[in-house]
Structure 1
Amino acid sequence: MTFKILHFADVHLDISFAGMGFPLEVARRYRESLRGAVKRLMDLALEEAVSCVTVGGDLYEQERFTADTGNFLAEQFTRLDSVPVFIVPGNHDPLVPDSIYKQVKWPENVTIFQHPKLEPYPLNEAVVLWGLAHPSPSWRGKPLENFHVPDERIHILLLHGSDMSNVPAGKVTHAPFLPEQIRKAGFRFALLGHYHQGRLTPEGNPFMAYPGSPEPLAFGETGLHGAVLLEVTGSTVQAHPISTQTYQSVREQVDVSQLTNRDAVLTKIQEALEDKAGERVLAQVTLVGTRHPDVIWDMALFNENLPKNFLHIFLEDETLPAFPLEDLKEEKTVRGEFVRKLLDDIEKASDDQKEVFKDALTYGLFAFEKKEIFADN
């Protein structure tokens, strides 16, 4: 008889989307879509007649959660009746004193791991699930260090943690481990959370899986978003990825180096997006290259004229003025010192401030050349 586990993670209910530049209404709609993802996952568990459900952490946002969210989750898990649900709190939903996990009256089928040390939970006579809780948002424990399962049963690891052999760019690491530690510890499979782009490792014969967030949560989060169905039949363990996403995330770069007027820039932005459109598509367009000195650079105009048939488009400016900056910064002159200072400011600035420093660099170099400056307004 096959023992079936439906695994998902990283729903991030009540997320703010503050870093994505969403209008308030778009952020609200997207947050609601994450509740829809939970409902679809419960539907999937019932359709597949799974033996249990596992949640790999970051189910919600501790800093923003509402009682309504807790009651919603309890209601959804109740739909599964006697099907067990196992949850490991992660770094965004840690098991702190005011955690939703401690405030809500959960149905009897829900088990929440309580300690920052791996604990076993027998699923049947042959299969054992191991999990732990992140006790704080900043916990950096190493759960697999000096650990080994005690017997020859099939041991499954449920962990919110970071595969240090393949860390996504910019991702903060928590509960770090290496894939070989999973094997060395005696686990047959690891059901994971923390990385939002799903992947099974290794591809041919996987022994660990990130299901990905059920929906993309940031620009550039392409790839698998959904769940993993793990089937244990006798001594055989097989994993099957399942997509649940209803939104798409795309990222495009537009090089403006050869463009000499702002209408040409706008046209090139529109061309980059023309085959990507959709009411459920999030797009990030990054402008790169060097701006021609004749172009009146008007980000407000570009934003106003973006295609309308997207859920949201975030336009990012990483261009630099078309001056020989590498040569200029070597000058032992006031202009050279000015360029060195502004390039350093741009490197260190937040995203909101980069544009200010880039404009200062452009206008300053124009001033050194006594060239007329046109403000955007």
Structure 2
Amino acid sequence: MPFKFVHAADLHLDTPFRGVAAPGPLPVRFQESTFRALTRIVDLCLRERVAFLLLAGDLFDVKDRSVRARLALRRELSRLDSAGIQSFIVHGNHDPLSGDTGTLGLPASVKVFGPDWEEAEVIREGRHLCRVQGISYPDVEVREDLSTRFRRTGDGFSVGLLHANLGGAEGHANYAPCTAAGLGSRGLDYWALGHVHTRAEHLLPGGGVAVYPGNPQGRHAHESGERGCVLVEVEDGGTRRRFVPVDGVRWHKLELPLSGVATLDALVATALEAVEARCASELDGHAVRLTLTGRGPLHRELARPGALAQVETELRERLAQVHPPVLLESLKDGTRPELDLEALHEAGGFARTLLDEARFLAESPEELARLWEQEALGSLGQRLKRLGVDVLGTPRPEWVIGAGLHGAESLHEEDAS
């Protein structure tokens, strides 16, 4: 019997967004965004008439979950309960079982897995649909591979619901570490994972799949782009998976080349146009980390004391007034001075010597290696290693070219000042 379910994780309800400071309605929209993402997940379940919803941990942002967050979760799961849709929940490191006060009841259709492995059977119209297995974190830190407790118990589609770090994903604490080979050996068809906030799918030995839907609402600039959940259709033991965005406020990292932009008013106009072109109109708001790049006449202007901050203030006020409003999270200057390298080389002097030496070293691997092995550089590398800093065994030619250009630019800046 074909059926559907929705897999979501890492809701982080009631994330405080303390770093968001902006005029107008933006702060409120950020504060509401995690709740609105949950509402959109439930809307999707109702619209697609799914059999059940899976929530793979970190439903709440902190162990001591707020009353507001708990009431919001109950309200949304009650909507599913009224439609005859079951919900299955495991808790992770942000919302372990030890943080549950037990003062809020959930609908009878909600299954919250405890600290020990359990399996629940999904029955629809008197017929067996599938099995869902799960286990929650008893406390914040779980270093054990919890996936070893899972196992296939019978025929039919089987789901493992787990908050875990598959393959040691960087940027996330290595809680409940597991491997693709280990998950594949358990014989389950679909692993509904949480913890890693970047969307990913891992095909497993034996034919199963492990899926991270990512978090449904980005919370900072490193969680940019679409955020959402996964709609899964099951038929004949196989799955079709479709990512569905549910975020209301979206984060972006943008680079704005300023080559050919000669005036400050043109910079502001170009920035506004570029940001608005990337920010979808159907969302509640956006947040942008903007970096100015390229060579141009504005480099010197932006380098003046206070100039970049004043441009940032102007852009922040203008972007907060567009629809939907945009938070300028930060403005960074990555521009370079206008530099005619050919003319600089023809002018001679130390800049010419610097550029020639850099080119010679970049084109001569033996000379570059000899320079790297000199006593001063060699001892510096040893000191860095003792401090735990990774040092490459051989230098890269592009480093030398970059150093030569940087030196030439510095000389050019000094001569022009």
> What is the TM-score when the length of structure 2 is the normalising length?
0.65
Amino acid at match of 1:304: T
Aligned residue number for residue 132 of structure 2: 129
Q: Residue 248 of structure 1 contacts residue 282 of structure 1 at CA under 8 Å; is this kept in 2? A: yes
Q: Spell out the pairing of 1:1-377 with structure 2 (5 A cutoff).
A: 1-19=1-19, 26-63=26-63, 65-80=65-80, 81=82, 82-96=84-98, 98-99=99-100, 102-115=102-115, 117-124=116-123, 125=128, 127-145=130-148, 148-164=151-167, 167=169, 170-202=171-203, 207-254=209-256, 269-270=271-272, 272-273=274-275, 275-277=277-279, 280-287=285-292, 292=300, 295-298=303-306, 299-306=308-315, 307-308=318-319, 309=322, 310-317=325-332
Q: Residue 286 of structure 1 contacts residue 316 of structure 1 at CA under 8 Å; is this kept in 2? A: yes
Amino acid at match of 2:289: Q
Amino acid at match of 2:95: D
Q: Distance in 1 between matches of 2:24 and 2:78?
A: 31
Amino acid at match of 2:254: E
Residue 294 and residue 216 in structure 1: after superposition, are their counterparts in 2 closer, same or farther (change >3 A)? closer
Q: Distance in 1 between matches of 2:96 and 2:232?
A: 25
Aligned residue number for residue 331 of structure 1: none
Q: Distance in 2 between matches of 1:241 and 1:320?
A: 37
Per-residue CA deviations over 1:106-147 (Å, capped at 9, x if unaligned) read 1111111110x5332222446221111122233333222486
Residue 320 and residue 294 in structure 1: after superposition, are their counterparts in 2 closer, same or farther (change >3 A)? closer
Q: Distance in 1 between matches of 2:274 and 2:254?
A: 7
* Secondary structure in 2 matching 1:29: helix
Percent same amino acid at aligned positions? Answer: 25
Displacement of 1:319: 5.4
Amino acid at match of 1:131: G
Q: Distance in 2 between matches of 1:65 and 1:146?
A: 28
Residue 134 and residue 28 in structure 1: after superposition, are their counterparts in 2 closer, same or farther (change >3 A)? farther
Aligned residue number for residue 351 of structure 1: none
Amino acid at match of 1:144: S
Q: Residue 11 of structure 2 contacts residue 215 of structure 2 at CA under 8 Å; is this kept in 1? A: yes
Displacement of 1:23: 6.7
Q: Distance in 2 between matches of 1:260 and 1:174?
A: 51
Higher helix share: 2
Amino acid at match of 2:137: H
Q: Residue 261 of structure 1 contacts residue 295 of structure 1 at CA under 8 Å; is this kept in 2? A: no
Q: Distance in 1 between matches of 2:245 and 2:259?
A: 39
Q: Distance in 2 between matches of 1:256 and 1:24?
A: 29
Displacement of 1:264: 7.7
Amino acid at match of 1:113: F
Larger radius of gyration: 2
Residue 131 and residue 259 in structure 1: after superposition, are their counterparts in 2 closer, same or farther (change >3 A)? same
Q: Distance in 1 between matches of 2:36 and 2:53?
A: 17
Q: Distance in 1 between matches of 2:294 and 2:70?
A: 47
Displacement of 1:77: 1.2
Q: Residue 65 of structure 2 contacts residue 95 of structure 2 at CA under 8 Å; is this kept in 1? A: no
Residue 17 and residue 68 in structure 1: after superposition, are their counterparts in 2 closer, same or farther (change >3 A)? closer
Q: Distance in 1 between matches of 2:174 and 2:305?
A: 38
Aligned residue number for residue 403 of structure 2: none
Residue 64 and residue 302 in structure 1: after superposition, are their counterparts in 2 closer, same or farther (change >3 A)? farther
Q: Distance in 2 between matches of 1:23 and 1:92?
A: 31
Q: Residue 261 of structure 1 contacts residue 296 of structure 1 at CA under 8 Å; is this kept in 2? A: no
Displacement of 1:151: 4.3
Aligned residue number for residue 361 of structure 1: none
Q: Residue 51 of structure 1 contacts residue 83 of structure 1 at CA under 8 Å; is this kept in 2? A: yes
Per-residue CA deviations over 1:261-312 (Å, capped at 9, x if unaligned) read 9778756655653523456222111356896598314243122111422431
Displacement of 1:314: 1.0
Q: Residue 200 of structure 1 contacts residue 206 of structure 1 at CA under 8 Å; is this kept in 2? A: no
Query: Pairwise CA RMSD of aligned residues?
Result: 4.1
Q: Residue 206 of structure 1 contacts residue 239 of structure 1 at CA under 8 Å; is this kept in 2? A: no
Structure 2 gap segments, 5+ residues each: 338-350, 352-386, 388-409
Displacement of 1:157: 1.0
* Secondary structure in 2 matching 1:103: coil
Q: Residue 211 of structure 1 contacts residue 224 of structure 1 at CA under 8 Å; is this kept in 2? A: no
Q: Residue 33 of structure 2 contacts residue 247 of structure 2 at CA under 8 Å; is this kept in 1? A: no
* Secondary structure in 1 matching 2:278: coil
Q: Distance in 2 between matches of 1:69 and 1:75?
A: 10
Structure 1 gap segments, 5+ residues each: 325-343, 345-364, 373-377
Displacement of 1:189: 0.9
Q: Residue 257 of structure 1 contacts residue 292 of structure 1 at CA under 8 Å; is this kept in 2? A: no
Displacement of 1:75: 2.1
Q: Distance in 2 between matches of 1:63 and 1:105?
A: 18
Residue 22 and residue 184 in structure 1: after superposition, are their counterparts in 2 closer, same or farther (change >3 A)? farther
Residue 255 and residue 142 in structure 1: after superposition, are their counterparts in 2 closer, same or farther (change >3 A)? farther
Residue 105 and residue 206 in structure 1: after superposition, are their counterparts in 2 closer, same or farther (change >3 A)? same
